[in-house]
Structure 1
Amino acid sequence: MRDDYPLYIKWRYIVEYLLEISGKFPKNVRFNLADRITNISLDVLEAIIEAVYTKKKADALNRANLNIEKIRALLQICMNKKYISIGQYEHISVEVNEAGKMLGGWVKSCKEPGI
């Protein structure tokens, strides 16, 4: 059932990509910044799964939205510190922005009467 949700599929790809690039961070930040990015991205995935399976979707979706903003901020830091290349940053930013738009649409649909 989860695979019926494009946002779930998109975010799973993002998590896999973030795991790949964060594994190449310098050792001095791998166990704090990289772990933080990984954990927050997994929190987003968990919130999406929760929204798929629960009737109270708004709480889970709002949590996912907040965590996506955290991911954006952390990725900007990574690019500024050159832990990721500009190309990697541009690629993942496009993916995260698309996921954010998908999430926003889902949140909006939950606010409509009868949903």
Structure 2
Amino acid sequence: MKESPLFAKSYDFIRWLIPQTVKFPRNQRFVVTERLQTTAMDFMECLYQATDKAQQTTALKQADVKLKQLRFYLRLSHDLTLLDTRRFEHASLLLEEVGRLLGGWCKSTV
């Protein structure tokens, strides 16, 4: 079975994010780093829960909330100069594509 682009793009984002956050200063690792990584993993878990028809609507709504949180944490990381502009733009583009794919899935379930 071919993997959904949403799952592949989300995985690619997490695979990119983790090495980036490890580079954050030590004093931010237990605040911003932990939040970013945990939220990204929670987002992916919501997607997997959404594959179960019984949980789909709730899980997709939760995934949307997690995506908004990820955007916030990334913006905060950039504002705190933990992520440079180039990396922030790259992450934003990745999340924009993930958001479009998630929105398409949400619309198809209505």
Normalised-by-shorter TM-score class: over 0.9
In structure 2, the partner of 1:90 is 89
Give, in angstroms, the shift of residue 18 of structure 1: 1.0
Match of 2:75, as an amino acid? Q
Distance 1:36 1:81 in 2: 15
DSSP 3-state at the match of 1:4: coil
Count of matched residue positions in the alignment of Structure 1 and Structure 2: 109
Q: How does 1:63-78 map to 2 (within 5 A)?
A: 63-78=62-77
Percent identity between matched residues is 29
Give, in angstroms, the shift of residue 32 of structure 1: 1.4
Give, in angstroms, the shift of residue 4 of structure 1: 2.0
Match of 2:32, as an amino acid? L
**CA-based RMSD:** 1.0
Structure 2 residue 36 is the aligned partner of structure 1 residue 37: yes
In structure 2, the partner of 1:105 is 104
Match of 1:90, as an amino acid? E
DSSP 3-state at the match of 1:82: coil
Give me the TM-score of the superposition, normalised by structure 1.
0.91
Distance 2:67 2:19 in 1: 18
Distance 1:58 1:22 in 2: 31
DSSP 3-state at the match of 2:50: helix
Give me the TM-score of the superposition, normalised by structure 2.
0.95
Distance 2:76 2:39 in 1: 15
In structure 1, the partner of 2:79 is 80
Which 4+ residue blocks in structure 1 deviate beyond 2 angstroms? none
Distance 2:12 2:32 in 1: 20
